[in-house]
Homo-oligomer: A and B are copies of this chain.
């Protein structure tokens, strides 16, 4: 029996809410089966490949990632990677797309409109910090894409649309802050977004070199909490009158 068949069996047999739900995405994706009872399950196969590929690309970069290695960790074969994604680049683009989609999707549910401007900023920055810190894969994929001059992102219309919404949210909060005479005038929202991104991103992206040079474990909870406060405080102080 193939590994794929084994996975199928595990999913159809046993309790409906799988006990292995806590397992890594790479081993079993959370998506519901599109067509229960089918021997062939394209969506499951696709998701399984994507989950494994995300790990591999985030860990080793685009050039360092090996298609054979991804295939080996999959419940299916290398042939399926080429069947669904065309080539290594197509696979990477999809991985990147999905990663962006995930963060923007959660971000969209934040509902900051009902908060006071300062609290809204605190919430947004706090969320960004937390999300990026607990989703190192996303950060690393973005780093990898930047090393490659954004050539893959350029090929994906989808990603570009996704990201503009953040700016609208930010603009809304900022405008309210200005009209309440809390925030300074003349601040550009993209500039502000950049400041927030920079402060949150660096913490994860430069973990390795920074912690080695300054002997600090940047993943330690106390460290993280302190840094989180600093980042929020920095942004607030930049905005306030």
Contact = CB atoms under 8 A, between A and B. Distances in A.
A24 interface: no
A197 interface: yes
Contact of A234 (B62, B154, B195, B206): B195
Interface string A172-198: 000000000000000010110111011
A64 interface: yes
A149 B206 CA distance: 9
B160 A206 contact: no
B60 A145 contact: no
Interface in A144-175: 144-150, 153-154, 159-160, 163-164, 167
Interface stretch (A15-23, A32-40, A209-217): A209-217
Interface residues of A, number: 52
Contact of A150 (B145, B150, B190, B212): B212
Given A163-B213, A213-B163, A208 B153 contact: yes
A227 B145 CA distance: 23
Interface of A: 60-64, 140, 142-150, 153-154, 159-160, 163-164, 167, 188, 190-191, 193-195, 197-199, 201-203, 205-214, 216, 226-227, 230, 233-234, 237-238
What 8 pairs across the A-B complex have the smallest Cβ distances? A150-B208, A198-B202, A63-B64, A63-B63, A163-B213, A237-B237, A146-B208, A234-B238
